[in-house]
Chain A
Amino acid sequence: AQSVAQPEDQVNVAEGNPLTVKCTYSVSGNPYLFWYVQYPNRGLQFLLKYITGDNLVKGSYGFEAEFNKSQTSFHLKKPSALVSDSALYFCAVRDRGQAGTALIFGKGTTLSVSS
């Protein structure tokens, strides 16, 4: 079965410092991996995805994520955090070898950036 783990419920970082939000996954085949961000009382916004190719994926708002097949991880990173980055972040996975369209989400990580 497919699953996604976000081991941290909350990540706290000071503005201007680098941030990392962790994600590990489990799929039977090769994954498609996604990061979404959710602001309070809003829907999810797509940040970036890994399909194939370069393991470092660049996305919106200066975010990037690194796919590591051996560690089955897809950590979200940003070199310099902004207060406006404070939000709930979801990692999601799909097994490219399986039919169906359900995104399997992690439980989410709340990012809090202090000024």
Chain B
Amino acid sequence: DAMVIQNPRYQVTQFGKPVTLSCSQTLNHNVMYWYQQKSSQAPKLLFHYYDKDFNNEADTPDNFQSRRPNTSFCFLDIRSPGLGDAAMYLCATSYRSGARDEQFFGPGTRLTVL
């Protein structure tokens, strides 16, 4: 089945220790997104790639970076995780970036910062 895969499902890191979260997709979608979802809150878009074009949301902290080496993979790098970065990180894809296109989400990676 075509899908969005996130690894790992659970990640524990130490305060200030860089961490990378991975997302891959078999849907061959052009657009990949990263959302942050804190407990009992709605998901919040951090950034997205349309093909190779990177689009950062205005209020995304500089501590968060992303890479998309090819169509299938996208990575979220947190350079110096703080306690406030503990959250569920959701990767999503869509075929196009048009407003009418629904997004397909992966299962998420739950990040714990000690």
Give the chain B neighbours of A43 by CB distance below 8 A. Answer: 4, 6, 90-92, 105-108
Q: Which of A33-53 contact B (CB under 8 A)?
A: 34, 36, 41-46, 49, 51
Q: Which of A41, A42, A49, A102 has a CB less than 8 Å from the CB of B102?
A: A49
- CB of B99 within 8 A of CB of A32, answer yes
Q: Which of A103, A106, A107, A108 has a CB less than 8 Å from the CB of B45?
A: A103
What count of chain B residues pass the 8 Å CB interface test? 29
A-B contact count (CB 8 A): 62
Give the chain B neighbours of A98 by CB distance below 8 A. Answer: 99
- CB of B102 within 8 A of CB of A107, answer no
Q: A105-B43, A107-B42, A108-B42 are in contact. Are A51 and B100 (CB under 8 A)?
A: yes
In the complex, A22 has a CB within 8 A of chain B = no
Q: Which of A56-88 contact B (CB under 8 A)?
A: none
Give the chain B neighbours of A51 by CB distance below 8 A. Answer: 100
In the complex, B22 has a CB within 8 A of chain A = no
Closest residue of chain A to B33, judged by CB? Answer: A101
Q: Which of A41, A94, A95, A106 has a CB less than 8 Å from the CB of B42?
A: A106
Instruction: Label chain B's interface by main secondary structure.
Output: strand
Q: Which of A32, A45, A101 has a CB less than 8 Å from the CB of B48?
A: A101
Which residue of B41, B57, B103, B107 has the most chain A CB atoms within 10 A of its CB atom? B103
A95 CA to B100 CA, complexed, in Å? 9
* Chain A positions near chain B (C-beta within 8 angstroms): 32, 34, 36, 41-46, 49, 51, 90, 94-96, 98, 101-103, 105-108
Q: A41-B108, A46-B105 are in contact. List 16 more A-B contacts (CB 8 A).
A: A34-B102, A42-B108, A43-B90, A43-B107, A44-B103, A46-B102, A51-B100, A90-B43, A101-B31, A101-B94, A101-B99, A103-B45, A105-B44, A107-B42, A108-B41, A108-B42
